Structures are given as structure tokens and as C-alpha cells.
Amino acid sequence: MAVIEEPTVLPVPGRRGRPARPRLIRRRVVVFSAVAIVSVLAVYLPLTLLSPLAPTSSQLVPFTIPDRTAAVTMLPGYGASAVGAIGYPEAFATAGSTEPLPIASISKIVTSLVVLERKPLRPGDSGPTITFSATDAALRAKYIALNGETKPLAAGATISQLDLMRVTLVASANNYAEALTAWAFGSHAAFEIAVTAWLSSHGLDHTTIVEPTGINPGNVSTASDLVEIGKLALANPVVASIVSTESMTLAGVGSFANTNTLLGRLGVDGIKTGTLNGSSNLLFAATFRYGSHAVTVVGAVVGATNHKALDATVTTLLAGMKAGFHEITLAQKGEPFANFRTAWSQRARAVSSSAASVLVWSNTPVTAVISALPARAGETRAAIGRVTFTAGSQSVIVLLTLDHRLVDPGPWWRLSNPTRLIG
């Protein structure tokens, strides 16, 4: 019986102990994958965890203004009249004649302003001492003969410039008004030149002053010009103080009251009456207060039949002007004007850093322009935006701040939302 032997397989030189090819491939894939994952993570993790977040834009909150009733300015149907408010050009109104009319003793306001331009006084300063001459003393008889208002004036008597102006404006004494210009300018011709130049320099083209008292009907003006003259009077602290004086007593003159009987009532704090040939006139000013705001109204009424009728007209006019102004709340402190919502759903608001209000005339439009910068997580700003309110000629700016800071959403959100990070 023959024996069959199994063939012997001899190892191939150089291949001893090497794994099969499939296993080698798998091992290389694992290694390469691990390296790739580590490489990707080395880039991805810092990119997502450390990159800045995209800024969050704002959504503006519309501003709504309260409803207001339109003002009704009740100007008289006689003569000429005008009224306005300092700082509120939209509140101006006029009625009646547009022709220059006699203004009587309102002329003394212009006289005083022209004198102060030549001989200025500072508030609290009495000015130089003036000695009256015999010519000055004779002026009283002149104006009594003309049925004009006068006060005692003796030759050799002395008076300060301030007191001389007080008697001129408060008592409306004609002899004191002429004595004032004679002292300041030396002659009537020099006064005429000065007053004409002063009127021209202030654009008062419809006003003519031929003498200092107003007893001459050639002293004329329009109601509109008178309102501007009133504003100039109030802008001069010396004149403004004098015309608000209700009464006073001076040695050699006596006690006297302001000819403006409305003074101290209805907010009236000036300015000057004028009466001539049966016509009563008033250049007036009144201050009204509304919360933290105040407004000064200046007006003129020319041509009333008497001072009682004139006072009634001005009383009605002032009531309408006072009712025509409204205090509008623009913003409460902490009121939101813009909203923020981040990509990770955090919310914040841009709120007013302070309260603000404005005084407006009638139904003057009030607008608001809101601007807010994009907000970033972790960022602190003194202001994130502003609101610019406009009402007529007025502008009010309120700064906006975040009611709380935006915070980082954390690593999990960052890792799962890479496309929402800043590019």
C-alpha cells in the first residue's frame, strides 16, 4: 500500500508575520480618520467656542403723540393787534389794520432802549447821578398844557439814571422822558438820529419815532413791530425789571403806580400802556407755567376805546393763548424705544436714560426719529442709541441704554449653531 505525503508549504522569504491586506487597509482608515477628526476638532472647537457672536439688530418701537386740541387765538375786531410767544414762531397771530398807527406812550419803551444803548446800565447798577436844569423843570408845564402825564421835577434836584427811567416807564411821565433824552443825547436832533438808526438796525421798518414821549401822533408802529419791540424790552434786564414794577415811591416825586393795571394778574409782567386822543393801547407780556416749562407771551393791542375795554380784550386773548400751549411727555425714564432678540432667543430693550417733555403750541406736529446700534453680547455702552424729538422749532434728544446686557449663549449653542457666528 502506497503512502501519499502532504506537500510541505515553505514560507516566502520577506513576508514572514505580515497581516493580510484587508486588515492593513482597515487599520489605515482608522488612523487616518482619527487624525482627520482631531484636525477638524482642532479648528472647529476654537472657531465655534471663541469666535465673536454676530451683532443683534434692533426693532424700533413706534412713537405715538397724544391728541391735542387746536388753539383758538381770540384777537379783537377793532384797531390792530398781534400776539406771539418767545421761542415759538408758530404761535404768532395778527389781526386788524396792518398800517402803522399812533402808539402814544408805548414810545417810551423805544426811548428807554435807545438811551440804554448810549448810556448802558448793568442790572443792580443805578448809573450816574443827574441834576435837573431849569429847562428840565419847565417841561412839566409844557406837558400839562398838552394834557400829558407828568410828575414833579424841580431845577437843581438830583436823580439817578435808573430812577429817571423808572419814573419814565412806570409812571409814564412825559416830562421825565424828555429830560432823560436831553441828558443822554444833548439835543432833540441827536435823539432823532439815534432812534432812527436803532429802529433800522432792528428791522423795525414800520415804526417811526419823532419825539421821546408819544404825545405826538407821528409816533407810529404796526402791531407786529410792537411785538418785536416788546421782545427787545424783555431781553434787556434793566427795562424788563422796570416794566414789571407795580408801584414805587421816590423822594421828590412821591408814590406812583404802574399805568398797566393788568400787571400782576393773569401772569402779566409788563410792558407799557399808551393813551392818546381817546385811543387806548397796550404792549403786554405774560408768563405761563406748565410743569417744568414756562413760556412768555408778548402781544400788542392798539385802538381800544378805553382802558376797561382794552383790559377785557387782553384778558380774553391771554386766556386763549394760555389754553393753546400743551406740555407733552416725550419719554418716561426707562421707556422702551427699541427691542433686541438674539439668535439664541435672549431679549433686551433700548430704554430712555431720562424722562423728557416739551411744551408745544396748539397741535404743532411732534415727530421722533429713533436710532439704535446693533447690540453685542458682553458689550457695555454708555448709550446704545438716541431719540431725536422735533416739535416746531424745538429739538429734544434722549439717549437710549440697554435695560440689561446680552450674555454669551454658552458652548452648547455655539457648537450647534456655527453658521450664526460672525463671519
Task: Specify the pLDDT at position 16.
Answer: 53
Task: Specify the pLDDT at position 65.
Answer: 81
The position carrying cell 383790559 is 311
The position carrying cell 406812583 is 256
**Cβ contact 79:87 at 8 Å:** no
Q: Does 124 score more than 70 pLDDT?
A: yes
HSE-CB of 265 using CA atoms within 13 angstroms: 9
Phi, psi of 59 (to 5 degrees): -120, 115
Q: Which of the two residues, 14 and 361, has the higher pLDDT score? A: 361
d(C-alpha 382, C-alpha 350), whole Å: 12
Residue 257, strand partner residues: 247
Task: Specify the pLDDT at position 68.
Answer: 80
Task: Specify the pLDDT at position 50.
Answer: 63
d(C-alpha 158, C-alpha 155), whole Å: 9
d(C-alpha 360, C-alpha 366), whole Å: 8
Q: Which of the two residues, 151 and 24, has the higher pLDDT score? A: 151
- The pLDDT confidence band at residue 19, using thresholds 50, 70 and 90, is low
Q: Give residue limits of the domains in the chain.
A: 58-68+329-420, 80-323
d(C-alpha 414, C-alpha 52), whole Å: 10
What are 327-375's pLDDT values in tens digits?
999 999 999 999 999 999 999 999 999 999 999 999 999 999 999 999 9
Q: Amino acid identity of 7?
A: P
**Cβ contact 180:171 at 8 Å:** no
What are 60-98's pLDDT values in tens digits?
999 988 788 889 889 999 999 999 999 999 999 999 999
- The pLDDT confidence band at residue 1, using thresholds 50, 70 and 90, is very low
What class does CATH assign to 80-323?
Answer: alpha beta
Task: Specify the pLDDT at position 349.
Answer: 96
Average pLDDT score over residue span 312-324: 96
The three grid cell numbers given for residue 208, joined into one nine-digit string: 417811526
HSE-CB of 36 using CA atoms within 13 angstroms: 6
**Cβ contact 356:390 at 8 Å:** no
Task: Specify the pLDDT at position 29.
Answer: 62
**Cβ contact 159:130 at 8 Å:** yes
Percent over 90 (pLDDT), the chain: 78
Task: Specify the pLDDT at position 81.
Answer: 98
Task: Specify the pLDDT at position 422.
Answer: 58
**Cβ contact 56:343 at 8 Å:** yes
d(C-alpha 369, C-alpha 388), whole Å: 5
Average pLDDT score over residue span 280-295: 97
Percent over 70 (pLDDT), the chain: 88
- State the sign of the Cα–Cα–Cα–Cα dihedral 201, 205, 211, 212: negative
Average pLDDT score over residue span 5-10: 52
Average pLDDT score over residue span 96-110: 98
- The pLDDT confidence band at residue 30, using thresholds 50, 70 and 90, is low
Q: Does 218 score more than 80 pLDDT?
A: yes
Q: Does 32 score more than 80 pLDDT?
A: no
Q: Does 423 score more than 50 pLDDT?
A: no
Give 319-334 as a DSSP string. HHHHHTEEEEEEE-TT
Of 304, 124, 283, 275, the closest CA to residue 213 belongs to: 275
| Residue 289, C-beta contacts closer than 8 angstroms, at least 6 positions apart | none
Task: Specify the pLDDT at position 212.
Answer: 98
Q: Which of the two residues, 380 and 119, has the higher pLDDT score? A: 119
Task: Specify the pLDDT at position 298.
Answer: 98
- The pLDDT confidence band at residue 37, using thresholds 50, 70 and 90, is low
Of 289, 284, 290, the closest CA to residue 315 belongs to: 284
Give 41-103 as a DSSP string. HHHHHHHHHHSPBPPBPEEEPPP-PPP-PPP-----SSSEEEEEETTEEEEEEEEE--S-EE-
d(C-alpha 421, C-alpha 407), whole Å: 14
Average pLDDT score over residue span 117-131: 97
d(C-alpha 314, C-alpha 308), whole Å: 10
Phi, psi of 193 (to 5 degrees): -65, -45
d(C-alpha 64, C-alpha 408), whole Å: 34
Q: Does 23 score more than 80 pLDDT?
A: no
**Mean model confidence pLDDT for the chain:** 90
Three-state SS for 230? helix
